[in-house]
């Protein structure tokens, strides 16, 4: 079960270079990002007021915008400063940070929208953990999604773009209605890919196995965990993983800014025992964020 979290309340939001109460940060209904999905975003964790891997997130936001054929009108340094100030204004503690950039609808409302300005916002809210911390090492349960991650020839899969999450929302809702925490998604060729908002790892004979990230994002948390594992002397194998292999792994866990490092005990009919490797990588990751 996911932990409860607070939305914006009386918090301050940075919107197009200005700070304002969240209630005043409004978007017109005729916004291109709403109608046509021309929107990119970042989900980040701040621990004690400091965003983990903050600059990497901001740089990825810029790359995502370039893939989506627009340019963010604020530099990485400007967004980093804005992010820090939003966190200061909204109080210390552990926060979730959302930076978002999207095409407005002020000049054109059609598929083509090259004349529309780009809007940028940064918001924070309290979200201690995506999953119940007391249950974390017990492991979460995953369904297997009906939808698949798209062929990179058919969608801008290397952008963290809002439209790519449409099938993720549907899949997560279906999983939650069946009592699962999330869902594992296959790729367009039927191979293991990722969860709806997190990457996935498996343990087999003391080695880590994770799908090749070529039709979905190699998350910043994923890359951090790979670095941690290699420092621990663990072999990390990035490869194609087929569904029929799911019964052969001993441990499984997911990674993401929201999920952090969360063990998995079940994927559909397959069962795992969260163990030493999952626990160690979780502890190392949390230590790296300052929350050990």
Full set of structural domains in the chain with CATH: 12-126 (3.30.470.10), 133-288 (3.20.10.10)
What pTM, to 2 d.p., does this model score?
A: 0.93
Report the alpha-carbon distance of residue 172 to residue 58 in Å, rounded.
Answer: 26
Question: What does the pLDDT profile of the chain (292 residues) look like in tens digits?
Answer: 444 445 556 799 999 999 999 999 999 999 999 999 999 999 999 999 999 999 999 999 999 999 999 999 999 999 999 999 999 999 878 899 999 999 999 888 999 999 999 999 999 998 877 776 667 889 999 999 999 999 999 999 999 999 999 999 999 999 999 999 999 999 999 999 999 999 999 999 999 999 999 999 999 999 999 999 999 999 999 999 999 999 999 999 999 999 999 999 999 999 999 999 999 999 999 998 766 5
Q: 209 vs 114, 131, 144, 267, CA distance in Å?
A: 42, 23, 19, 16
Q: Which pLDDT score is estimated for 288? A: 86
Residues 6+ apart with CB under 8 A from 146: 171, 174
Which residue of the set 107, 160, 177, 207 is catalytic?
A: 160
Phi first, then psi: give them for residue 137, nearest 5 degrees. -75, -10
Residue in 123, 171, 129, 119 with CA at minimum distance from that of residue 146: 171
Integer-rounded Cα Rg, in Å, for the chain is 19
Beta-bridge partners for 103? 118
CB neighbourhood size of 18 (10 A): 10
Report the alpha-carbon distance of residue 38 to residue 102 in Å, rounded.
Answer: 6
Report the alpha-carbon distance of residue 288 to residue 277 in Å, rounded.
Answer: 16
Whose structure tokens read 């790519």?
Answer: 164
Q: Which pLDDT score is estimated for 137? A: 84
Q: What is the DSSP string of 231-264?
A: HTT--EEEE---GGGGGG-SEEEEEETTTEEEEE
Report the alpha-carbon distance of residue 85 to residue 91 in Å, rounded.
Answer: 10
Residue in 188, 179, 197, 90 with CA at minimum distance from that of residue 143: 179
What 3-state class would DSSP assign to 32? helix
In the structure, how many helices (H) and strands (E) does the chain have?
A: 6, 15
Would you call 160 a catalytic residue per the annotation? yes
* Structure tokens given for 108: 């054109």
Answer whether 182's CB lies under 8 Å from 195's CB: yes
Distance, C-alpha 255 to centroid of its chain: 9
Answer whether 259's CB lies under 8 Å from 131's CB: yes
Q: Where are the alpha helices (DSSP H) in the chain?
A: 32-36, 54-67, 76-89, 166-177, 220-231, 276-288
């Amino acid at each position: 079960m996911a932990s409860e979290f607070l939305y914006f309340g009386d918090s301050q939001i940075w919107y197009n270079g200005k700070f304002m109460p969240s209630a005043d940060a409004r978007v017109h209904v005729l916004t291109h990002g709403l109608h046509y999905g021309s929107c990119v975003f970042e989900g980040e964790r701040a621990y004690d007021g400091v965003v983990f891997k903050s600059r990497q997130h901001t740089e990825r936001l810029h790359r995502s915008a370039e893939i989506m054929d627009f340019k963010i009108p604020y530099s990485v340094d400007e967004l980093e400063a804005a992010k820090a100030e939003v966190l200061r204004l909204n109080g210390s503690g552990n926060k979730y940070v959302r930076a978002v950039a999207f095409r407005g609808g002020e000049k054109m409302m059609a598929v083509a929208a090259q004349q529309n300005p780009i809007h940028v916002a940064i918001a924070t809210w309290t979200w201690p953990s995506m999953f119940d911390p007391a249950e974390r090492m017990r492991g979460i349960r995953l369904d297997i999604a009906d939808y698949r991650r798209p062929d990179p020839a058919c969608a801008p899969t290397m952008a963290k773009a809002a439209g790519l999450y449409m099938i993720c929302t549907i899949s997560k809702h279906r999983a939650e209605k069946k009592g699962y925490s999330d869902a594992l998604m296959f790729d367009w060729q039927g191979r293991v890919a990722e969860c709806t908002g997190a990457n996935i790892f498996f343990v087999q004979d003391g080695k880590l196995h994770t799908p090749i990230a070529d039709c979905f994002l190699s998350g910043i948390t994923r890359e951090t965990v790979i670095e941690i594992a290699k420092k621990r002397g663990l072999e990390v194998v990035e490869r194609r993983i087929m569904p029929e292999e799911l019964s052969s792994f001993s441990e499984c866990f997911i990674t993401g800014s929201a999920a952090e490092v969360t063990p998995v005990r079940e994927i559909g009919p397959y069962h795992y025992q969260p163990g030493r490797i999952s626990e160690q990588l979780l502890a190392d990751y949390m230590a790296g964020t300052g929350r050990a």
